[in-house]
Amino acid sequence: MDNSHNYHWSEQKEVGSRFFLAILTWIAFKLGRRSARLLLIFITVYFYLRGAKARKASRRYLRRVLKKNPSWFDVYQHFYYFACVTLDRLFLLTGRLNLFDIEIHGKNLFNEMIAAQQGCLLFVSHIGSFEVMRVLGSRDHSLPIHILMDQNHNSIAMQLITRLDPELADRIIEARQTSTELVLKMNELIQEGGMVGIMVDRLRPREAGVECSLLGGTANLPAGPWQMAAALKVPVVMCFGLYDGKNRYNIHFELLSEKISSKRSERSVSITNHIQEYCQRLEHYLSVQPFNWFNFYEFWKDETTGH
């Protein structure tokens, strides 16, 4: 009997383990990125063979985005892209940006914000690389980036960040606070000219969601980040750090809204419309780089019983 419909992404352990991450880190820093990328071939095979649920989720997603029945190699390539981005995280966190060919699109969005010392919310998703965005802050120190993260669920990632980039670790905001505490903390940082990055594509247990259309199916996206944006009355910028293969990344920034309506009578409709607009941009970038989708679980409601 298949009980997958009772499975939530938050119950999924972080892909990999401390042991494999320790081995990969040692090889990456002792032998270099090229040698580590050779190792990724075997690591990807291992997780491809072991990850039945992830393979199933990958096939379902790829069928939507590729508009065909994916081959075993399509699924393998999907896993391999995730492995490549995970490896590159090690080098990005240690500031070795010279290893990468990174192009930034839409940076001019921040010119007026910098001049006015106005920050923003930076809405990101599990597509491509979030860490590659730190290149923006490295090249322009007037754009400090803070990250909202559930440190308990992402314990391995948090330990890695603390070890490799203590400065970034100090700018991580614990997500397990009350809404009031979060809004006050983020407002303080944004008023100081900072950007707060929030993942907006995964619904936490018991969190209010909004149904939207994505890649021909129905998905639930969290309403919380958008409600915070309405309460803060600050600009919302979308960011997609796409991995283009080898050492190439393209970072795309787009302004979604100068200010989401906070009027009670308009808020619900405004949030729903903005989430759907966000989904349309997700579809666009996934059509450009389909293997950059890193949600390896049942994402669409019509894949399950509606759980």
Q: Give the tens place of pLDDT for each residue, 203-259.
A: 887 788 999 999 999 999 999 999 999 999 999 999 999 999 999 999 999 999 998
pLDDT in tens, the chain (307 residues): 333 344 444 455 544 467 767 778 888 999 899 999 998 999 899 999 999 999 999 999 999 999 999 999 999 999 999 999 999 999 998 889 899 999 999 989 988 888 888 899 999 999 999 888 876 766 666 678 899 988 776 777 778 888 888 888 888 888 888 888 888 999 999 998 899 999 999 988 778 899 999 999 999 999 999 999 999 999 999 999 999 999 999 999 999 999 887 777 788 899 999 999 999 999 999 999 999 999 999 999 877 544 3
Report field, pTM of the whole predicted structure over 0.85: yes
> What is the Cα–Cα distance from 23 to 140, expressed in whole angstroms?
33
Q: Give the tens place of pLDDT for each residue, 97-126.
A: 899 999 999 989 988 888 888 899 999 999
Half-sphere exposure of 81 (CA within 13 A, CB side): 24
